[in-house]
Amino acid sequence: FLASELAMPMGGRPDFAKQKLVEAGQLITSDSGKDSLSPMATDVEAVVNQALRRIGNETPIGYIFEGSRASRVALEIYGQTRDDLLRSHSWGFARRDITLTLLKTAPVGGYGVAGWTSASPPPPWIYEYAYPGDCLKIRSIRDAPIFIPSFDPRPNLFNEANDNTLVPPAKVILTNVAGAIAVYTGQITDMTTWPPDFTEFMVEALGRRFATALAGNPELLKIDAEEEQASRQAAATQRG
């Protein structure tokens, strides 16, 4: 199986994703009433084949690396589409909170006569931190809490930049927060951790991209725009 890699929701009702997964035989309800994904929904081939069926392609792929036209297209678009979808909402399952790794600080007392050098963050920033390797989108930068829990909602300014003075050059986070904690959306490649609605949105998004790449039929892209917009709004509401 491919260990990584889909974007944009569909469906007009809050339970749209669950209904679709039930119809596809991808959702199992236990005796306790708890829903869970069936094993066949937790591999790349299953998601790709569901997307192909949505655009009327009844020839499934057997293996993502088999070399068929559909599998080659899937390899090109799968990871990008997944990451686009993860970035599109503040998914709870994709949230990560970490203390950032400090790379540079401004000199105590300011730059004074010596002025700025590349050993310090670019003004007006005081701290430069390493960008998390699995980060797709920074949601916020927070102070390290003195008391647990911390109920201080004040936002902190930050900027993302590329530091070409590092070896090798790297993406960094600039802020004036000491001991900063980053809240961000991580690149979640483990499909067993995806909730059912995310999997359904993946299938819909991949289907739209397949429609262009495989079918070349613009009509297949008109998958009820009003319903799609309603789904995006519902997903945004559910995730605050």
Which residues make beta-bridge pairs with 102?
Answer: 129
- This model's pTM is above 0.75: no
User: How confident is the model at residue 144, as a pLDDT?
Assistant: 82
Q: What percent of the chain has pLDDT over 70?
A: 68
35 pLDDT more than 60: no
- Quickly list DSSP for 87-125: HHS--GGGEEEEEPPEEEEPPTT-STTT---TTSPPTT-
132 pLDDT more than 60: yes
- Give 187 or 59, the one with higher predicted confidence: 187
Q: Please, what is the angle between helix 16-23 and helix 196-210, to 10°? A: 80
**Mean pLDDT for the stretch of residues 49-54:** 92
- Give 47 or 18, the one with higher predicted confidence: 47
